[in-house]
Amino acid sequence: MSPSTHWIVGPGALGRLITHRLVGRVPVRLLGRRLLPARQTLVTPAGDPLVQTLAMARIDVLPQETPAVVHLTTKAHAAEAAHAAIAEHLPAGVPLVLWQNGFACQPRLTERHHGPVLCATTTEGAHVQSEDRVTHAGHGHTFLGALNGDHTDLARTLARTLSEAGLPAEAADDIRLRLWRKLAVNAAINPLVARYTIRNGQLRDRPFRPMVERLIVEVSAILDAEGVTPPGGGGVEDWRRLVWQVIEATANNRASMLQDVLASRPTEHEAILAPLLAAASRHQLPAPCLAQHLHDLRFRAEKLAVPPTLC
């Protein structure tokens, strides 16, 4: 029998959202370090509770089945450890989909995994309410593709499966560009909202607006040097337009990094800010605000208090 089960590794908000949506359409199993209650509720964007029983497993007691595909839905900093925990139990050739933010684990796991690797970038909004409840806050769109543009049939097939399950998705031959664009937006928004405990829309007001502007200028110079263009073609004006559009569209949201801070979880600062700062140093570009945020978030990660800065 050919493998048919989608393994979703990482039972956070995104992992549970994908599992809930796929249930009943394809065999699906949710894997994590510990078992959650099997009876899970998804609150839909319309506010309706959808209660379903999800098949689960622990990654240290893997089921005796070969998955059709593995979706890695952990946070960026947990992705490589989660992959290491399952990789030796997978036969060569099982496709892997990386759903992480930033641009850190994607090239490394693309190199390391013994099978096709796709990266996904999504604007689906979800957050965890409790052990057995997750909210799908807003509909979004997902792009899937391999970093080198290969595996387009696989990307199309998976995009169709996700779309039919209510998560609109499409194959993209420029996923690297799309990952960097999302990283750029995240870098201009997330460290600030996490530091000041504000919703995205509050960035439009003083004193935050100039802080966003300073980050946009730094990010734009670095990505121009890297050849990563914003939609519209290029230059700081187009990056500015993109960042403020996202702030406008998500004005009422608590960004993922703020949710992590509020829940005392590690943040994705290394995956979002460190690749930008590495690029800045390759091109000998100053990035004092980005560097300050990375420094502050590393301090937080070490459980040290840091005085606020104005970047």
For residue 252, how many other CB atoms are within 10 A of its CB? 10
**3-class secondary-structure state, position 180:** helix
Residue 192 found at the interface with ligand KPL (CB under 6 A)? no
Does the footprint of ligand KPL cover residue 255 (CB under 6 A)?
Answer: yes
- Assess 122 for contact with ligand KPL (CB under 6 A): no
Does residue 185 interact with ligand KPL by CB under 6 A?
A: yes
Pick 257 or 280: Cβ nearer ligand KPL: 257
Q: How far is the CB of 185 from ligand KPL (least distance, A)?
A: 5
What is the smallest separation between the CB atom of 273 and ligand KPL, expressed in angstroms?
Answer: 12
Residue 121 in contact with ligand KPL, rule: CB under 6 A: no
**Residue 287 CB partners (closer than 8 Å, separation 6+):** 218, 222, 276, 277, 280
Task: Kindly give the residue spans of alpha helices, DSSP state H, lying in the chain.
Answer: 13-22, 79-87, 105-112, 152-164, 175-196, 208-226, 236-249, 256-262, 269-282, 288-301
Cβ neighbours of residue 77 closer than 8 Å, sequence gap 6 or more:
266, 268, 270, 271
Query: Binding residue for ligand KPL (CB under 6 A) from 110, 135, 256, 267?
Result: 256
Question: According to the binding rule CB under 6 A, does residue 194 interact with ligand KPL?
Answer: no
Please indicate whether residue 303 is annotated as part of the active site. no
Which residue in 250, 269, 275, 287 binds ligand KPL (CB under 6 A)?
250
Minimal distance, residue 191 CB to ligand KPL, in Å:
10
Note whether 267 binds ligand KPL by CB under 6 A.
no
253 scored as a contact of ligand KPL (CB under 6 A) = yes
Catalytic entry in 182, 195, 254, 293 = 182
Is position 186 an interface residue for ligand KPL (rule: CB under 6 A)?
Answer: yes
* The pair of three-digit structure tokens given for residue 202, joined into one six-digit string: 């509050």
Please, which residues have CB within 8 angstroms of residue 16's CB and are 6 or more apart in sequence?
30, 40, 42, 54, 126, 128, 134
DSSP structure class, residue 149: S
Contact with ligand KPL (CB under 6 A): which of 119, 134, 246, 279?
A: 246
Q: How far is the CB of 249 from ligand KPL (least distance, A)?
A: 8
Indicate the residue among 172 and 212 with the shorter CB distance to ligand KPL. Answer: 212
For residue 55, count other CB atoms closer than 10 A to its CB. 14
φ, ψ of residue 265 to 5 degrees: the values are: -100, 160
Q: Which run of H or E residues covers position 125?
A: strand 125-130
The interface mask with ligand KPL, positions 142-181, x = CB under 6 A, is: ----------------------------------------
What gap in Å lies between CA 113 and CA 54, rounded to an integer?
27
* Residues annotated catalytic, as ranges: 182
Which residues sit at the interface with ligand KPL, rule CB under 6 A? 185-186, 189-190, 200, 246, 250, 253, 255-256
